[in-house]
Structure 1
Amino acid sequence: MLLIFDWDGTLMDSEQKILASMRDAALSCSLEPPADAAVRNIIGLELSLAIQQLFPGESAEGVAAIRAGYVDSFVAADQQPCSLFPKVAETLAELAGRGHQLCVATGKSRKGLNRVFSHLPQAALFSASRCADETASKPDPLMLQELCDEFSVAPEAALMVGDTEYDLEMAARIGMPSVGVAYGAHEPERLRRWNPLGVVDQFDGLLAYVDRGR
């Protein structure tokens, strides 16, 4: 089975780093930092699109400056890698051991995902990935379609796992089943609007849905 995972908020606990980096970026541009709730709302989107939503009055040059400040702050903070959420490492290893194809569909840039992969042993478990700077940003389902095409799998035979409604919306838009995780950026009520198979409280709860889909 083709299993496609969001990254931040689903596999990796990076929320506090994202919140702090966006605050730093705003301050570096002499702007009022957005509320944490507003930043949580845009986690998962391509970074420039996220900044446009947080700072709707900014020019293209302003968005670029905020983006640069965010990247500088995040890369500096990322010298201390974020942790995977509980049960993620074990569950990914079990899924790969069962012969499933594991992929990533993320709002991160390719450079950002490669930086994470460079110090993460679990990176070897993933067969492919798509990042927001090399295809359309969520909730456009293009990254999911590209991954399905790469492995010659119909969307309805794959499974998307994510923590935001952007993840589950893009899956719904191409008829791909999905599972939400309750511990990420968006509340379970928002995830359920997109009719996932379920919303799990802990990552290993995913196993029941994968077994059901075999």
Structure 2
Amino acid sequence: MSQYRAVIFDWDGTLVDSLDHITASLAAAAEDCGMPRRADHELRDIIGLGLAEALERLWPGITPSRMAALRQAYGHHFFSAVATPYSTFDGVSELLQGLSEARPALAVATGKSRAGLDRALIATGLSDYFRVTRCADETRSKPHPLMLDEILQELSIAPNEALMIGDTVYDLEMAARIGMPSIGVTWGVHDAAALVAHNPVRIVDHVSELKTFLAVNVRRFNPHVEDAVDE
């Protein structure tokens, strides 16, 4: 029998190829605000955290006024780019379509802001796929598991009935903290060597591998029947 009643996705670096745009926006914001320059790999490494937590990690001891200025500058550069990229990785649209037909509950747990995710959901045309979404500015940032707890509560399911899929150690640590199985994907921020430390059930290198795994390991979501089976 299929195992997972819900599949929870990270956004940036897992479904959407937005990493270069995020790092460029962070670098431009830092320059605008006169902050010390950070290397691209340092900027990339914090993707997945909430913005406040990311900025604190990049510039430890940052003052509240500098934090506010950086957040405003980042938002300006991210949202006002002439061509803000919202391209999904190859195969993602087909993956989500297939899952929608199998009908597990689909959700998003992201370090993006609510405004950022809502805009991205519309721009990518993916909004109809997801039953529940949680963002870092309306709950706790990864790797704290509160956003996963809230998703589980909304769906009325247990951690072992859901699967977290993400490209960062923050995604996998968040899931591990509450005993939720996870899959690490290597086309985003962190490589397999980093992801394996949090004991994912699988690490995949291509969307096609993820599609194959989920095809035989998800089950129809029925909130009214505790042990629902496929019809």
TM-score normalised by the chain length of structure 2:
0.89
Query: Is 1:212 aligned with 2:217?
Result: yes
Deviation, 1:60, is 1.2
Which of 4, 27, 41 aligns to 1:23? It is 27
Give the superposed CA RMSD. Answer: 1.3
SS of 2:75 mapped into structure 1 = helix
Q: In percent, how many aligned pairs have the same letter?
A: 47
Q: 1:79, CA displacement in angstroms?
A: 4.5
194, 203, 220: which one aligns with 1:190: 194
* Contact 1:179–1:197, Cα closer than 8 Å, also in 2: yes
Matched to 1:169, the amino acid is E
> Does the 8 Å contact 2:102/2:218 carry over to 1?
no
1:141 aligns with 2:150: no
Task: Give the 3-state SS of the residue equivalent to 1:184 in structure 2.
Answer: coil
Residue identity opposite 1:35 in structure 2: A
CA distance in 2, matches of 1:46, 1:167: 12
Say if 2:144 and 2:174, in contact at 8 Å, map to a contact too.
yes
Stretches of structure 1 lacking an aligned partner (at least 5 in a row): none
Pairing 1:168–2:172 present: yes
Counterpart position of 1:62: 66
Q: 1:62 to 1:22 in 2, by over 3 A?
A: same
Report how far residue 78 of structure 1 moved.
6.9
Read off the aligned partner of 2:85 and give its amino acid letter.
P
Query: Paired residue for 2:223?
Result: none
1:92 maps to which residue?
Answer: 96
Residues 25-80 of structure 1 show CA distances to partners (whole Å, capped at 9, x for unaligned) of 11001123211111111100000110011011321111111111111100112753
Determine if the alignment matches structure 1 residue 155 to structure 2 residue 167.
no
1:197–1:209 contact (8 Å) kept in structure 2: no
SS at match of 2:149: helix
Alignment of 1:36-75 (within 5 A): 36-75=40-79
Please give the alpha-carbon distance, in whole angstroms, between the structure 2 residues aligned to 1:150 and 1:204: 29
**What is the aligned length?**
214
Task: Spell out, residue by residue over 1:69-93, the C-alpha distance to the aligned partner (whole angstroms, 9 max, x if none).
Answer: 1111001127533200011000011
Distance (Å, rounded) in 2 between the aligned partners of 1:152 and 1:74: 35
What TM-score comes out, normalization by structure 1 length?
A: 0.96
Q: Distance in 1 between matches of 2:23 and 2:179?
A: 32
Q: Distance in 2 between matches of 1:145 and 1:160?
A: 12
Distance change (3 Å), C-alpha of 1:9 and 1:117: same
Q: Give the whole-Å Cα distance in 2 for the aligned partners of 1:197 and 1:120.
A: 28
Q: Secondary structure at the match of 2:217?
A: helix
Q: 1:118 is matched with which residue?
A: 122
Q: Is 1:7 aligned with 2:11? A: yes
Q: Which residue of the partner structure matches residue 222 of structure 2?
A: none
Alpha-carbon contact 1:81-1:116 (below 8 Å) kept: no
Larger radius of gyration: 2
Could you tell me which runs of 5 or more consecutive residues in structure 2 were left unpaired when the two chains were aligned: 220-231
Give the superposition deviation at 1:213.
Answer: 5.4
Residue 177 in structure 1 maps to residue 181 in structure 2: yes
My pick for the range that moved more, 127-136 or 112-121, is: 112-121
Q: Distance in 2 between matches of 1:80 and 1:71?
A: 12
Amino acid paired to 1:212:
N
Deviates more, 1:76-85 or 1:30-39: 76-85
